[in-house]
Amino acid sequence: MTAEFQNFRAPRGQVLFREQDEGDCAYAIVAGQVEITVERNGKQVSVATLGPGEIFGEMAIISSSKRTATATVIDDCVLHRIEARQFNQRIEKMDPVMRMVIDVILSRFRTTLQRIEAGPPAFREIALAPMPYVSQAMEHLRLENEIASAVREQQFVPFYQPIICLKTGKLAGFEALLRWHHPVHGVLSPDRFIPAAEQTDLISQLTASCLLAASNDLRELRMACLNNIEHVTPAFVSVNITGRDLERTEFVYEIEAMFSADGLSPDMLKLEITESSLMTNLDKIREDLSRLRALGIQIAIDDFGTGYSSMSHLAKLPVSTLKIDRSFITDITENLPNRKIVKTIVRLARELGLPIIAEGVSSPADAAWLAGNKCEFAQGFYYSQPVPLSQALAMIRSWDPAQQELAVGNNPDGLDLTANRNVA
Ligand code: C2E
Ligand code: CA
Ligand code: CA
């Protein structure tokens, strides 16, 4: 434990801070009492007496302003010092709407104090203190409302990115990646809507629309595979889910119902969940994933290598695939530390009996290195960007492992939406 997290003692009579001091920390009272006073007409007037479990001094650091009161120990105290940095790091990560709420409460509180002090009629002239986060929060709320109505209007549609077996060159499956067909802005990528949706249960509505669309499309994708069975293994579809989906008790039942109603085989579906969402509430997550595995659904850990999950944690989860994050893969032939990391992950996966999908494969050299290092599957712009269903079907029909080398010449920067050479 570092010094900043330790408690300290403060004897009766100690002044912890004075009105107009710069605020660099807050305090939590573990034991003892603190009196908060303000100066009025040259005298200290008591405004509060605080005891164990209470926090003080937080306002100055949240709103980066001077202390508005003096804090004095009136009964020997044990205090816990909370650094401004500890608050600020949390505030930065906070939902902008909650930041706005804190801003509004603080601003109203400070303005009310000033108005009381000024007394009538002057109090009317004191305007509400500025609230820096309001416009950002308003934008967030507007986007959330827009996403909610876009879900109702079915504007979210999955694109499909192929996943290739490196040993055979056969097309093995697809990852479904949502796109927003926005009536004004055109096709929008997930970075424009997933982060906002993840703040609320809108993300579960997006997961549900992706699952529904993918299960409908799966039938067509499988049919197309059967027509080119020599070059394509009957495809699975991967859908991204989040910790929030698993938190909903109905989630597993909904998936179960979807499969029993549709006559789809559950092993055609893979659910991808990021390594970082697996880090909390391990017992509950293990239970939920086990129920999904019991249905026959495959579970992949997404963005593996970025979430610092412990090996013992990982070994306890009923997962069927590891997806190595693309930050380790792109330019792997040039990057020695990444090569070492990937080799270690491959060894680990082998020990656990899990196949690996390498994400972000963007050159034939990446693919060759991964194949040479016993990585089973690859996904990335080298093969194709995510494409609409019609193009995914065309890709399946004309997929030919023998032609993969040609893709590079046709698609040197890997940025064309119809990047796969098999797509007309
Ligand atoms: P992800 O699950 O890691 O998906 C892979 C992302 O990497 C996709 O971006 C894909 O286009 C991109 N990618 C694939 N190969 C390459 C490559 O070679 N180079 C580069 N630079 N990028 C590559 P996309 O489609 O923009 O999706 C971004 C993220 O949005 C996804 O990351 C996933 O976390 C999230 N997402 C997408 N659809 C859904 C969804 O239905 N539900 C949830 N919860 N998240 C989704
Ligand atoms: Ca994914
Ligand atoms: Ca990923």
In this model, does residue 416 exceed pLDDT 70? no
In this model, does residue 411 exceed pLDDT 60? no
Q: How many angstroms separate the CA atoms of 367 and 359, rounded?
A: 10
**What would the mean pLDDT of 282-301 be, rounded to a whole number?**
90
**What would the mean pLDDT of 362-376 be, rounded to a whole number?**
94
271/109: higher pLDDT: 271
pLDDT (0 to 100) of residue 180: 98
Nearest ligand 1 atom to the CA of 156 is: 41
pLDDT (0 to 100) of residue 103: 79
Q: How confident is the model at residue 170 (pLDDT cuts 50, 70, 90)?
A: very high
**What are the DSSP E strand ranges found in 297-390?**
298-304, 321-324, 356-358, 377-378
Where helices occur in 202-249 by DSSP H, the ranges are 202-226, 243-247
CB of 277 sitting under 6 A from ligand 1:
no
Q: Match 């939902």 to its residue by tokens.
A: 95
**What would the mean pLDDT of 202-207 be, rounded to a whole number?**
95
In this model, does residue 148 exceed pLDDT 70? yes
The residues facing 66 across adjacent strands are 22
| Nearest Cα to Cα of residue 366 among 407, 306, 319, 309 | 407
Residues 391-408 have pLDDT tens digits of 999 999 999 988 765 443
- Atom 7 (ligand 1): residue with closest C-alpha? 360
Label residues 350-366 b or e (16+ Cβ within 10 Å = b). eeeebbbbbbbbbbeeb
**What would the mean pLDDT of 36-63 be, rounded to a whole number?**
90
- Which residue among 179, 212, 240 has the greatest number of ligand 1 atoms within 8 angstroms of its CB, and so is best to mutate? 240
pLDDT (0 to 100) of residue 138: 83
In this model, does residue 292 exceed pLDDT 80? yes
Q: Give the global pTM.
A: 0.79
Task: Give the distance from CA 196 to its chain's centroid.
Answer: 10
Where helices occur in 123-262 by DSSP H, the ranges are 134-152, 194-198, 202-226, 243-247, 250-262
**What would the mean pLDDT of 121-133 be, rounded to a whole number?**
68
Q: How confident is the model at residue 94 (pLDDT cuts 50, 70, 90)?
A: confident
DSSP 22: B
pLDDT (0 to 100) of residue 258: 80
- Atom 22 (ligand 1): residue with closest C-alpha? 360
